[in-house]
Copies of this chain bind each other. A is one copy, B any other.
Amino acid sequence: MKRKITLKHIARELGVSISTVSKALKNSEEIGRDTKEKIQAFAKLYNYKPNNIAISLKNKRTKNIGVIIPDIVHHFFTTVFRGIEKYANAKGYNVIVCVSDESFDKEVINMELLANGSIDGFIMALSAGTQLKNDYNHLKEVTAQGIPLVLFDRVTPEIKCDKVVIDDKKGAYNAVTTFIREGRKKIALITTKDYFSVSRDRAAGYREALLDNDLEINEDLILEFPSMEVDEKGIEEFFTNKKVDAVLSVNEIFAIHSMRFVQSLGIKIPEDISFIGFTDGLLSKYSTPGLTAVAQHGEDMGKIAAEMLIEKVESEEEEETYTTKVLEPTLIVRGSTGN
């Protein structure tokens, strides 16, 4: 087993000093031609590569960025992650992922762990637990230490930092407008309590679109689940009792379940009822009929988040200017709408 070779080894082997080796390998002008060649040849031969950890310690820069997301088996987050990873990698950064599992405690623990020197900055989406608890001290700690932070998708105004979100309100607004243009009148919303920031905005867009079109808001047509767990019973009950001709769902999974259930009742999509769901994921694409979806452009979001973070990480000045980028949602039209 050939252990990794260090400057010291090379120096000893070649009878020169460590600093000479270091300089030679950086092609410093200070070092004589032949010593340089000798050292470089030797280094190449033994495949010398500087130790990242030592360099991190010296530079106080790890070239690692920490990503904390609520879940990894999740199409949207995974898409954002891809955007982050691609950009970060291209910039020479590695990505350390921690999954908060929607738990406040795990989010805190992971963050504190990584904050002790492992990473140069954070990119994260708040866990449900954190949003529920409304406690952001761990984030404040981190930013107070001068560690750059970028929040995406699930954000909070409590923390001053860069943010990337999509215009959830507009996404919902556009979806509802689409329904109305189709002549739908009884438009339902299936939403969830947990995802405060996004659900709130989406519900707001839903309401605003109805009002702007002189339709009244019927609270009976708003189905609110406590979490994103699928409540099969709740869905069945809703659709057996309520008469609706269009449904906006804040996520794919509620929409898919609903579609299946109404289809089992012999109701036709989109003839009798239209569906639009947030987050253009695999299910939307492959359901029958395809689910018209509000695309969140996760990969772009990830890329932008990484850009913002690395920008801050590498900038010398301690700017106190934070920006929030708002991406435009796009409606991907499929078979579940349009009659």
Interfacial residues, chain A to chain B (CB-CB below 8 A)? 1-4, 47, 49-54, 56-57, 62, 64, 72-75, 78-79, 81-82, 85-86, 89, 94-99, 110, 112-118, 141, 144-146, 256, 260, 263, 282-283, 286-288, 318
Contact = CB atoms under 8 A, between A and B. Distances in A.
A53 B99 CA distance: 22
6 contacts: A3-B145, A49-B116, A286-B286, A287-B287, A287-B288, A288-B288
A160 B2 CA distance: 16
Contacts of A144: 1-2
Contacts of A50: 116
Given A75-B73, A94-B96, A116 B51 contact: yes
B97 A97 contact: yes
A198 B54 CA distance: 40
A305 to B, nearest CB: 15
Nearest to A281: B282
Contacts of A64: 96, 118
A116 B52 contact: yes
A62 B52 CA distance: 11
B85 A116 contact: no
Contact of A72 (B1, B56, B82): B82
A113 B94 contact: yes
Contacts of A99: 82, 85-86, 89
Closest 5 CB pairs of A and B: A1-B146, A51-B117, A52-B117, A53-B117, A49-B116
Contacts of A72: 78, 81-82, 85
A270 to B, nearest CB: 16
Contacts of A49: 112, 115-116
A78 B73 contact: yes
Given A52-B116, A78-B78, 11 more contacts: A1-B318, A4-B145, A49-B116, A50-B116, A54-B117, A64-B118, A85-B99, A94-B98, A260-B288, A286-B287, A287-B288
